């Protein structure tokens, strides 16, 4: 499959082929299958957000025992790893500068 340029906004979970179509933070080169996989992770994050919203209205449920937050954290790491792998040079540099793919022992887990 042929790779195309996509513009990604992690905060709004946006994916666009049009550079001026929506505000974006990162630029990647991806196939349609890779974009489907990224959209699938964004969808999982949305569903976990909805469940977290519902959970937030249960006063005795402790925040630190929240499976939905764990799902969002895991998915966010997966998104950034995927964007790093598919990213153009500027995208890779930006994600590296964020330090989000560095684990607690200080080792960088990016694949560049």
Per-residue pLDDT of the chain (112 residues; tens, 9 = 90+): 899 999 999 989 999 998 877 789 899 999 999 999 999 999 999 988 888 787 777 777 666 667 777 888 899 999 999 999 999 999 999 999 998 887 534 455 555 4
**Residue 46: how many other CB atoms lie within 10 Å:** 13
What is the helix (H) or strand (E) element at residue 73, kind and residue range?
A: helix 67-86
In contact, 48 and 72? CB cutoff 8 Å:
yes
What is the helix (H) or strand (E) element at residue 16, kind and residue range?
A: strand 14-16
In a domain, 11, yes or no: no
The DSSP call for residue 92 is: H
Q: What's the pLDDT at 55?
A: 72
Domain of 68, in residue numbers: 32-98
Q: What's the pLDDT at 49?
A: 85
In a domain, 85, yes or no: yes
In a domain, 61, yes or no: yes
Count of the separate structural domains present in the chain: 1
Structure tokens at 36: 């489907």
In a domain, 6, yes or no: no
In a domain, 20, yes or no: no
Q: What's the pLDDT at 10?
A: 93
Strand partners, 8: 15, 26
């Amino acid at each position: 499959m042929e790779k195309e340029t996509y513009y990604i906004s992690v905060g709004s979970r946006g994916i666009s082929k049009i550079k001026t179509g929506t505000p974006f933070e990162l630029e990647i080169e991806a196939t349609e299958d890779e974009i489907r996989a990224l959209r699938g992770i964004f969808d999982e994050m949305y569903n976990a957000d909805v469940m977290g919203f519902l959970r937030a209205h249960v006063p005795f449920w402790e925040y630190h025992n929240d499976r939905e937050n764990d799902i969002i954290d895991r998915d966010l790491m997966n998104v950034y790893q995927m964007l790093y792998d598919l990213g153009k040079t500027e995208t890779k540099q930006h994600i590296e500068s964020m330090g989000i793919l560095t684990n607690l022992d200080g080792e960088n887990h990016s694949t560049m």
